Amino acid sequence: MTPTSFRWTRTALALAALTGASFAQAQTVLSVSTWLPPSHGATMAQNQWCEAVEKETRGSVKCNLLPKAVSAPPGTFDAVRDGLADVSFTVDGYTPGRFIFTQVAEFPFLGDSSTTTSVAYQRIYNKYFAPLGEHRGVKPLAVFTHGPGIIFTVKQPVTSSADAAKLKFRIGGGNINELSKSMGWNTTLKPATDSFELLSTGVMDGTFFPDESLQSMRLSMVKYATTFPGGLYNTSFVFMMNQAKYDSLKPEEKAAIDKVSGEAAARLFGAGWDRTDAASRDIQKTTGVQRQMASDAFVGEVRAKQAALEDKWVTAAEARGLKNARAVLAEFRAETQKLK
């Protein structure tokens, strides 16, 4: 090798090293947390969102999937707000009284598909709730719901409100907490992740969950299920990013994240939940879970109590700045029907 060619080679290597260093400095890594199992539909949907972000940003933004949750489920919103994780999701109802508008997605009889309810909710959220900033402190990426809520019990079926009143249940919060009180049921607000211990030890007789939770929470002790048309309840989730982290991104990176968030992300989470709900129903057939649809009389009791709670929600939502809250609720229900 001549001295000249040696100098050219050394220069090329130096330039390559500088270019690699520059690329490494330019890449943003998002720390991503989940408090649900790796195989859960919501966790997998979050991972799919990460893949979409990496693809849309051509690798300039990537995710680091944390090996364990940075917080217990009720503390996840504040953990993302405070930067303990850059991205995660949580249940709005885990912090009672904090979020009012989101309760609209928790009412009974909304629909039998997480996808349709989630997309309808996202559209209503964008139109009415997002401008009012109830999730201030974080960057909301999407909102979604799980599948229709069901009464699951261990030792006996629930065929009426009176049957339910004799038992103790774990619930996840939100409107179902208020509805349970109105119905006179004995319920305790606990995160989903506590369910196995509560049911296996007999502290609780049952739990309110969507279908998939029997598998994701390993609730093999459950033997009975009471379903409702459109669900006894639903649960509002927010998928979010640390605001400072989002603000630090380049304009084109923000645009890429916005593109794969909103309704696109709501569909990801909804489809994941529908898929795992269906798989769980198939497994229940083999494990002998006895399923029954609530009677018209039982459904009627729930509707009567829920009517007063919807009046209460309208008052609370309008006090926080939402105009014509009852019309918003009607529009939400109409949207879910349109998407079926």
pLDDT in tens, 51-78: 999 999 999 999 999 999 999 999 999 9
Inter-residue contact 213 to 194 (CB < 8 Å): no
Q: What is the mean pLDDT of the chain?
A: 92
Give the residue-averaged pLDDT of 303-317: 96
pLDDT at 24: 41
Q: Is 312 exposed, middle or buried (0-12, 13-18, 19+ CB in 10 A)?
A: middle
- Domain ranges in the chain? 26-95+114-145+237-277, 150-233+280-339
How far is the C-alpha of 148 from the C-alpha of 336, rounded, in Å?
A: 13
Give the range among 15-19, 45-49, 147-151 with minimum mean pLDDT. 15-19
Residue 224 has pLDDT above 70, yes or no: yes
Q: Which residue matches tokens 């949580």?
A: 90
Helix (H), strand (E) at residue 121: helix 114-124
Q: Which long-range contacts (CB under 8 A, 24 or more apart) does 156-160 make?
A: 156/205, 156/224, 157/224, 157/226, 157/290, 157/292, 158/206, 158/224, 158/226, 159/226, 159/292, 159/294, 159/295, 159/298, 160/295, 160/297, 160/298
Is the domain 150-233+280-339 a CATH 3.40.190.170 member? yes
Torsion sign across C-alpha atoms 144, 148, 149, 154:
negative
pLDDT (tens digit, 9 = 90+) per residue, 254-287?
Answer: 999 999 999 999 999 999 999 999 999 999 999 9
Q: Does residue 84 have a pLDDT over 60?
A: yes
Band of residue 26 on the pLDDT scale cut at 50, 70, 90: low
Averaged pLDDT for residues 19-37: 74
**Which pLDDT value is given to residue 172?**
86
Bridging pattern class, strands 168-171 and 138-145: unpaired
Confidence band, pLDDT 50/70/90 cuts, at residue 340:
confident
164-212 pLDDT per residue, tens: 999 999 998 889 999 999 999 999 999 999 999 999 999 999 999 999 9
> Could you give the angle at the alpha carbon of 221 between the alpha carbons of 216 and 225, nearest 5°?
80
Q: Is the pLDDT of residue 97 over 70?
A: yes
Tokens for 205? 């007789």
Cβ neighbours for 90, distance < 8 A, ≥ 6 positions apart: 35, 73, 74, 76, 77, 80, 237, 238, 240
Do 26-95+114-145+237-277 and 150-233+280-339 fold alike per CATH? yes
pLDDT at 75: 96
Classify burial at 129, counting beta carbons within 10 Å of its beta carbon; exposed 0-12, middle 13-18, buried 19 or more. Answer: buried
Above 50 in pLDDT, residue 86?
yes
Residue 20: pLDDT over 80: no
Buried b (16+ CB within 10 A) or exposed e, 168-191: ebbbbbbbbbbbbebbebebebbb
Q: Does 158 have pLDDT greater than 70?
A: yes
Query: Rounded CA gap, 126 and 146, in Å?
Result: 19
Classify 26-95+114-145+237-277 by CATH class.
Answer: alpha beta
Nearest to 103, CA basis, from 239, 234, 279: 234
Q: What is the pLDDT of residue 118?
A: 98
